[in-house]
Amino acid sequence: NPMLKRMQVPSKNLEIVYEDSWLSVINKPAGMLSVPGKEDAVSVYSLMRGQYPEADGPLTVHRLDMATSGLMLIAKTKRVHQNLQAQFKNRLVRKRYVALLEGVVPKDKGTVDLPLCLNPLDRPRQMVHTEHGKPAITDYQVLERLDGKRTRIAFYPRTGRTHQLRIHAAHPLGLHCPIIGDELYGKKAKRLYLHAEYLEFTHPITGETVRITKEAEF
């Protein structure tokens, strides 16, 4: 594919954290699209399509926001893709994210339950809406409080809404501490300090529980 050749790729090869004949788990860099938006934009999908030209599956099973780094599942066959997507849909995949928040979260752990929907007047921002919002639930655990100004936190999302963790962190009815570097719901920084560090799922072929960890570089 000539398109792949002329792309300016931040990193020619994505870091593969786990791989077998049916699937792989990659570590997406912050600032890379999960799937192509514009035709020539480099994405996890386009790089993996180049890496696995024989794959007959749609490859990407789920997405991370462009600004978020971390673990993404790649399916190499249609059957594996369908199985993994069903696991996500049925909330059978366990995920943990790590983030740095602006401000101090007082409670050591808890749950944020704020329904979300798109804000039609301010795309692509999502908003909290009790009537039109879809259920969005995040469990959290404070890992450390830094210099009385920031909080390092683990998020365990029970649902997978767009921008869920970002809004649950930033919203006054949530933690009221935006993720550092969140240009939509907080303030710009070097990057969005949000990383998907853990995935646990059932292997579609072997039936074994697969647990993958890739710690954040911040």
Please tell me the distance from the alpha carbon of residue 199 to that of residue 164, in angstroms, as a whole number: 17
Could you identify the residue written with the tokens 């990193």? 11
Q: Is 122 a catalytic residue?
A: no
* Cβ 110 vs Cβ 142: under 8 Å: no
Could you identify the residue written with the tokens 């190499």? 76
Helix (H, G, I), strand (E, B) or coil at 150: strand
Of 20, 40, 56, 65, which is the active-site residue?
Answer: 65
> CA-CA distances (angstroms) from residue 130 to 18, 136, 205?
40, 11, 40
Give kind and range of the element (H or E) at residue 146. Answer: strand 137-146
* Cβ 25 vs Cβ 72: under 8 Å: yes
Please tell me the distance from the alpha carbon of residue 112 to that of residue 164, in angstroms, as a whole number: 10
Catalytic residue positions? 65
